[in-house]
Amino acid sequence: MTEKTVIELLNQIFEIEKKKQQHDFDRIDRNIERLKWLLEQEGYTYKDPTGEAYNETRIDCQATILSEAEPQIIRDTVKPIIYQTIDGQTAIIQQARVIIN
């Protein structure tokens, strides 16, 4: 599986989770967790930074800033941070795309 395919797969899982939370589809939790586990076995994980503080020094996020009010908090995540671990070394292979307001 190519890195590009894995990134797209993780983005799709993330979107399914977001939609599930909005519509309460609890029955698909087991399937989502299984897909995430399979990808983790290959060294891939993702993180949703929603709710975290944002500042310009963060290298793991690309932000759309809708308000300059302080403190800046990530209100929505469009795409998650995706990590790949190889031989114990973890690297960001996709920055999150987030909305600050």
**DSSP state, residue 72:** P
CA distance 89 to 18: 28
> How many domains does the chain contain in total?
1
Residue with token string 């190519």? 2
Q: Where in the sequence is the domain holding 44, given as residue range(s)?
A: 3-100
Q: How confident is the model at residue 12 (pLDDT cuts 50, 70, 90)?
A: confident
pLDDT digits (tens, 9 = 90+) for 46-61: 999 999 999 999 999 9
CATH code, domain carrying 28 = 2.30.22.10
CA distance 53 to 49: 9
